[in-house]
Amino acid sequence: QHYVQNTFLGNRTVVAATGMSHNAVKAFAERLGFSEGAGLATNSQYYGGELRKRAKGLAYIAVAAQGAGINQKEALAFGILQHALGAGPKVKYGANPGSTLSKAVADAAAGHVATVSALNAAHEDSG
């Protein structure tokens, strides 16, 4: 309760909505009843770094290359290439056995469980 009273404050809260009028969102936020105030003066401390967990027998591999920007004529070719290689399974937890990339990975995995998906992220200036 002490934590909530000192942390859940009006000036430390964001209410975001879509498909609602500003007045409706404002009325909703006011009904939440957050107190006013600055809250605790201490800043959050960063303890992060890198975390690695060994998972016996599992590997995650990414192979990346630059593609084409959405405004470049090659963008369509990269989109077609993505789907030709395999844009992911059509069924949740499926393997998309029809793609060229899936077949190659399955052969290379030599009986081990393997899945693969091609990704194409085209932005305005680069892909």
Domain around 72: 57-127
Distances from the Cα of 126 to the Cα of 67, 81, 95, 119, angstroms: 7, 16, 29, 14
Helix (H) or strand (E) holding 106, with range, is helix 100-109
124 and 70 in one domain?
yes
Q: Do 74 and 122 fall within a single domain?
A: yes
Inside any domain, residue 124: yes
Flag whether the pTM goes above 0.75.
no
Q: Does a structural domain hold residue 93?
A: yes
Give the C-alpha separation, 85 to 74, whole Å.
17
Task: Give residue 62's pLDDT.
Answer: 65
How would you write the pLDDT of the chain (127 residues) with one tens digit per residue? 676 677 777 777 777 777 778 898 888 888 877 778 776 666 555 566 666 677 676 666 666 667 788 888 888 888 888 877 777 666 555 555 667 677 777 777 777 777 777 888 888 777 6
